[in-house]
Amino acid sequence: MSEDQLETLIIQTINGAVATIPSYLEEIKENKEIFKVENPQEFVYGIVMGMALGMSGAIMSAQKETPTEEDQMKVRDIIYKHIPEIRERIFNR
């Protein structure tokens, strides 16, 4: 898989994760007593980052053998490059 293909898949994964933000924020709001979350946006940021990192790793695993440490670092770097956009989409709602 080329670097461009990998980045395209990761961006699609990030967009899918970001699309869940409104429902997660609403779920936290409706269930404050269960979640006991002090900062819903930070909590959702953690969920989105976990989804992006986890799903991207799963996609890579499906393409070939277990991703190497170098592959994992590429994924991380691509996702980290998009952190400002992810935070913008969560915190400026």
Helix (H, G, I), strand (E, B) or coil at 92: coil
Best CA proximity match to 89, nearest among 40, 27, 41: 41
> pTM of the full predicted structure?
0.82
pLDDT 10s digits, 28-81: 999 989 999 999 999 999 999 999 888 887 877 787 677 788 888 888 999 999
Query: Apex CA 15: angle with CA 12 and CA 21, to 5°?
Result: 155
Highest mean pLDDT among 1-10, 15-24, 67-76: 15-24
Residue 69's pLDDT is what? Answer: 87
